Amino acid sequence: MTIQKIILSLIILLLTACAEQATKSVELIPVEERHSPVERGKLTTEKPKVVATKKSKAVDEQKEPVITALLNDANRFSKQGHSEKAVATLERALRIEPKNALLWHHLAAVRMQQQQWQQAIVMARKSNALAGSNKQLKSDNWALIAAAYDSLGNKEKANEARNKQTGQG
């Protein structure tokens, strides 16, 4: 029971932090013109498939900085309370890399911020389907799903999600 309260408190704290309004305007810079540092291996949950041609490998390596920049933008928009811009940015990233479980998780979190509970559940489930062996991401998704079901008033489904989060389900 206390674990559930802690998890719920953390989710509420996260959502509250995401809902803060920024007072300064946002300047949009095309992704191609940015120079942001990229840490390899921290963005995606699965390695890109290696294809025999050199051109394909180069394309996969070029995607990562773009996805990182878009994810950073989406996080900034979300923190500033610009959830529609965050959604548009994440959807753009997903058009580039549709099998990125982390992007789906962030989209689910923004849908929670927008109080679109059903959409949040769908996005978090999609993230879980793509997460592979990433237990932390799956756990975070189950916590998000539980919070969404709580918001919908479906305590039974919320408890099922919490059980899956803790590995009991």
In whole angstroms, give the CA distance from residue 3 to residue 13.
Answer: 15
Per the CB < 8 A criterion, the answer to whether 11 and 144 are in contact is yes
Q: At 139, phi and psi to the nearest 5?
A: -60, -45
Per the CB < 8 A criterion, the answer to whether 91 and 107 are in contact is yes
HEC string of the chain equals CHHHHHHHHHHHHHHHHHCCCCCCCCCCCCHHHCCCCCCCCCCCCCCCCCCCCHHHHHHHHHHHHHHHHHHHHHHHHHHCCCHHHHHHHHHHHHHHCCCCHHHHHHHHHHHHHCCCHHHHHHHHHHHHHHCCCCHHHHHHHHHHHHHHHHHHCCHHHHHHHHHHHCCCC
The tens digit of pLDDT for each residue in 96-151 reads: 999 999 999 999 999 999 999 999 999 999 999 999 999 999 999 999 999 999 99
Give me the pLDDT at residue 63, please: 79
In whole angstroms, give the CA distance from residue 101 to residue 44.
Answer: 7
Confidence of residue 73 (pLDDT cuts 50, 70, 90): very high
Give me the pLDDT at residue 102, please: 96
**Average model confidence (pLDDT) across the chain:** 79
